[in-house]
Amino acid sequence: MKTVTIMLSSIDDVKNFVNLVSKCDFDVDLVSGRYVVDAKSIMGIFSLDLSKAIEMQIHSDDCDAFMEELKPYLQ
């Protein structure tokens, strides 16, 4: 498992992020405070406080290509 911090600052960021994560065959969770949502759920992401950085947990060790695509969102 890999953990990174991301920032989604606009509606377009959220839409593009969900489209990117939906292509993955492994689980990705977003953690904000005590809330954990599936990163493939656009409604779940909009339920989080997007004004703050969000912790992302990637449940795979083979995610180098995925991490490369996530660079615009990484903190």
> What is the three-class DSSP state of 15?
helix
**Contact yes or no for 35/48 (Cβ under 8 A):** yes
- Residue 37 confidence (pLDDT): 97
Please tell me the distance from the alpha carbon of residue 66 to that of residue 10, in angstroms, as a whole number: 21
In tens, the pLDDT along 14-69 reads 999 999 999 999 999 999 999 999 999 999 999 999 999 999 999 998 888 999 99
For the chain, the domain total comes to 1
- Residue 72 confidence (pLDDT): 93
pTM of the complete model: 0.91
For 13, the domain range is 2-73
**Residue 28 belongs to domain with CATH number:** 3.30.1340.10
- Residue 62 confidence (pLDDT): 87
